[in-house]
Amino acid sequence: MNELRSSPATAESVAADLERAIHEHRLPPGTKLGEDELGEVYGISRTTVRAALQSLAHHRLVELRRNRGAFVAQPTVREAREVFEARALLEPRTARSACQRMDADKLQTLQDHIDAEHAAIDAGDAGRAVYLSGQFHIEIARMADQATIEAIISELVARSSLIIALYWQRRAALCESHAHHALIDAFAAGKDDLAEDLMKSHLLDLVTSLDLRNRTSIPGSLREALSQ
C-alpha cells in the first residue's frame, strides 16, 4: 500500500500498515513476515522493521518465535473464547457510557461508519467490512471518553479480526450491521439500558457465529495446507 511514499516509512507507519493488512485479512493468520522481505518492500532497514514487528507482537497480532521469525498470529479456540469473554466484560458498560454522552455529531459519525460498512459489503470487500465493523466498536469506546478502555478494546477488536479470519463460518454476513443499526437507534433514543443489553447480546451473537469446536485447526500452517 505504501511502497512509493515520498518520505521514508517509520516503524509506526509500517506497524499501522501491517496491522491494517492483517485486519483486512490480506495477511492471513500464519503468514511469515520476513524481516528482509518487509524491509525491501518498505525501503527501510531491518532495524525499523523489527521495531514494527515487536509493536505488533505486543498487541498479539503477530507471534515472535525466537530464531524463527515473525508470523501473523493464529489465535487458538481458547484464546478466541477468552477475547470475547473480555469484550463481554468491557463493551456493554462502555456502550452505556457512550449512550449517556451521545450527541448529534457522534450519531452521525456512527452512521457514516455503518454506511461505509455497507459500501464495503456491496463492493464484495469482506475484509474491509470486517475492519470497519471493528472500528465501529472502537468508535463507541472513544465516545465513552475512556481512552484506557478504548485502547484495550482496540487490541481485543484487532485480535477478534484474526479470530474471525480463522473461525468465521459464513452463514449470514448481514446480521452484524443489523445489530449495529439497533445500537444506533438505542443511542439516538438515549436508552442506555437498552444499549448495554444490545451490545451484550451482539457480542454473544458474534461468539455463537464462530465455529469454536475443538477441532485441530490450531497449530501451524501445515495443518491448514493439509486440509486443502
Binding site for a second copy (CB under 8 A): 47, 50-51, 54-55, 58-59, 78-79, 82-83, 85-86, 89-90, 93-94, 146-149, 152, 156
Residues 6 or more apart in contact with residue 65 via CB below 8 angstroms: 71
Give me the residue label for grid cell 449517556.
Answer: 100
Tell the smallest beta-carbon distance from residue 151 to a second copy (Å): 8
| Selected binder of DNA within 22, 27, 70, 95 (CB under 7 A) | 70
139 binding partner (options DNA, a second copy, none; Cβ < 5 to 8 Å by kind): none
216 and 197 Cβ atoms separated by less than 8 Å: no
Comparing C-alpha atoms, which of 25, 19, 211, 1 is closest to residue 126?
Answer: 25
8 binding partner (options a second copy, DNA, none; Cβ < 5 to 8 Å by kind): DNA
45 binding partner (options DNA, a second copy, none; Cβ < 5 to 8 Å by kind): DNA
| Selected binder of DNA within 11, 16, 152, 218 (CB under 7 A) | 11
Q: Which stretch binds DNA (CB under 7 A): 62-70, 92-100, 135-143, 158-166?
A: 62-70
- Residue 47 binds DNA, judged by CB under 7 A: yes
DSSP secondary structure code for residue 211 in this structure: -
| Selected binder of DNA within 20, 50, 60, 81 (CB under 7 A) | 50
Give the distance from CA 10 to its chain's centroid.
22
26 binding partner (options DNA, a second copy, none; Cβ < 5 to 8 Å by kind): none
Tell the smallest beta-carbon distance from residue 89 to a second copy (Å): 5
Residues 6 or more apart in contact with residue 107 via CB below 8 angstroms: 184, 187, 188
Which residue, 7 or 148, has its beta carbon nearer to DNA?
A: 7
Phi-psi region of 103 (alpha: psi -120 to 50; beta: other; left: phi over 0): beta
Comparing C-alpha atoms, which of 81, 103, 105 is closest to residue 212?
Answer: 81
Give me the residue label for grid cell 509500517.
Answer: 14
Q: Which stretch binds DNA (CB under 7 A): 59-67, 111-119, 143-151, 197-205?
A: 59-67
Residue-level length of the chain:
228
